[in-house]
Chain A
Amino acid sequence: MNIYQKNCLVILSLILGFVLSIAYGYSFRNFIDQPSFSAKDLEYKMMTEGIKTERYSISKLFKNDYSVNLSRPYYFPQHKVIVFNSYRDKSEQSFYKIDSQGNLVDSITFSQDYSTIIFGDYILQNKAYSSWIIDGDTTKKNYIEVNAGTNWSEDKVENEFDRLKRSAEDVFYFKYESLWDYDDPRNESKIDKAVFLINGIWYALYGKNLYVDLNDLPDHILPNLIPDDSSFDQPNSIAYVADFQKTNRVKENEWNGLAYINLLYKTDTIKIKAKLTQNEKPINNLGKYAAYNMGYFKPDGLPYAFIVQDDNYYIIKTKKQL
């Protein structure tokens, strides 16, 4: 056997080695020891397949995909509406209104303004506000300025502040840093802005050190009912993982797979199949399933609820009687 033949033999045996190692892996390592899930697969459906129970049906909330940067639902119980906020970037925000029957009925977009925010039942900006949530009015209204100039003494501002606050239903604050242009003298002298809601009209007062951070104040955002701890693993009265089919191992004790979720809505159990990751041995009181890509929102007093999965919203409605 000459050197060429020997080398050819080496090459062929190495290629054979590859083929054998792949064949061995596919035939003898590529399996998971678990019971059959074919009965469960008939019972539980993926959200995208459309789910129906005896009384309820689940369908996509938005025909188009607003999924990118969509907020959690805001619920305004007095007006029986749900509002979603979505933004392409922070300067352009759109709001979508769902009526008491669960229909998308209206939308509004505010562009070129970074200060747009939902506060109370209003959409507020630095310079204007909107009562669209309450009455559907799409025009922006200006604040009624109490002290347009900045020549008021601090005492006078303080007295006026106290007087307005006593009669106001709601107060919101804008900090000078995000309020004025860079070259505005009011930015230099740190003039904040407080706005007061009195009888459906917002009044604006300017002055130093008015700003109060309201970020931690409770707002109208609905809480996510999907438990984010170990109670998601055990039967409960909201939503839980009833069973789990492993599809592949990610690493030791961690599996990708399909969760069979029981979601309880009124009288029915909605059976959802969803892709989740299972951590077989979670530390502390963390749950076995990381459900960060799922949400369940139930506004009290409205005949529907929302499920969100991977930023796609679905609505649970009573089926139309034929």
Chain B
Amino acid sequence: MKIKLPFLKAFIIALIITIGFLIYVFINPELNSGYAGLFFLSISPAVLIGIIVYCYIIKVLDHAGLLAPHFIFRFLVPFLMISFILWIGVNTGTEPVLEAFQQYDFSEYINYFFNFAIEIYLPLAVSLAAITGMLHIGNNEVANNDSM
């Protein structure tokens, strides 16, 4: 069962997630303090386009046979890939999230990772899972066509 992705479907998915993203920003006082809310509003078109692009990347990987045709894999592989790249990214450079030169014990150290995970990876996981879930809607037709 391959993913069927007309542009309208990608656009509606992107719209729903972008609206969700904005609601999340505006009900979250931490993200919506000062001009931060306006900032997120101003980048929302980029978020929209980014999600459309993401949908097509999943479709291409799917059709190229690089992603196993199951929700778990279509969600988990890109999610872990993005998370890992993000993790390496934020921990290099002059001001890494998990700074060298600490004297944390192991639980403190691991807590820094989990705090980061809850703040960043949880919203990311929720949105990627939602995108993948919606990508699954309306693929039966393709499946039928394939079987014919």
Contacts and interface: CB of A to CB of B under 8 A. Distances in A.
Contacts of B66: 3
Interface string B90-107: 010011001111111010
Interface stretch (A6-14, A69-77, A82-90, A117-125): A6-14
A25 interface: yes
Interface centre among B88, B94, B104, B110 (most CB of A within 10 A): B104
Interface in B65-103: 65-70, 73, 76-77, 80-81, 83-84, 87-88, 91, 94-95, 98-103
A32 B77 contact: no
A286 interface: no
Interface residues of A, number: 25
A251 B73 CA distance: 39
B80 A26 contact: no
A56 B99 CA distance: 41
A30 B109 contact: yes
Interface string A1-28: 0011011001100110110011001100
B103 to A, nearest CB: 6
A248 B102 CA distance: 4
Interface residues of B, number: 29
Given A11-B80, A21-B87, A32 B95 contact: no
A32 B103 CA distance: 7
A320 interface: no
A21 B80 contact: no
A26 B112 CA distance: 11
A248 B77 contact: no
B113 interface: yes
Nearest to A29: B100
Interface in B93-132: 94-95, 98-104, 106, 109-110, 113
Nearest to B101: A249
A250 B91 CA distance: 14
Contacts of B68: 3-4, 6-7
A32 B100 CA distance: 8
B103 A31 contact: yes
A236 interface: no
A11 B106 contact: no
B106 A18 contact: no
Interface centre among B66, B98, B101 (most CB of A within 10 A): B101
B120 to A, nearest CB: 13
B98 A32 contact: no
A247 interface: yes
A155 interface: no
Interface string A231-274: 00000000000000011111110000000000000000000000
Given A3-B65, A17-B84, A18-B84, A30 B76 contact: no
Contacts of A22: 109-110, 113
A117 B30 CA distance: 37
A14 B100 contact: no
A21 B84 CA distance: 10
B103 A7 contact: no
A235 to B, nearest CB: 27
A252 B96 CA distance: 11
A268 B52 CA distance: 71
Interface of A: 3-4, 6-7, 10-11, 14-15, 17-18, 21-22, 25-26, 29-32, 246-252
Given A7-B67, A22-B109, 20 more contacts: A3-B66, A4-B68, A6-B68, A11-B76, A14-B83, A17-B84, A21-B87, A21-B88, A25-B91, A25-B109, A30-B102, A30-B103, A30-B104, A31-B101, A31-B103, A246-B101, A246-B103, A248-B103, A249-B99, A251-B94
20 contacts: A3-B65, A3-B67, A3-B68, A4-B68, A6-B68, A7-B77, A10-B81, A15-B80, A18-B83, A22-B110, A26-B109, A30-B103, A30-B109, A32-B103, A246-B101, A248-B102, A248-B104, A249-B99, A251-B95, A252-B95
Closest 6 CB pairs of A and B: A29-B100, A14-B80, A249-B101, A7-B68, A248-B102, A7-B73
Interface of B: 65-70, 73, 76-77, 80-81, 83-84, 87-88, 91, 94-95, 98-104, 106, 109-110, 113
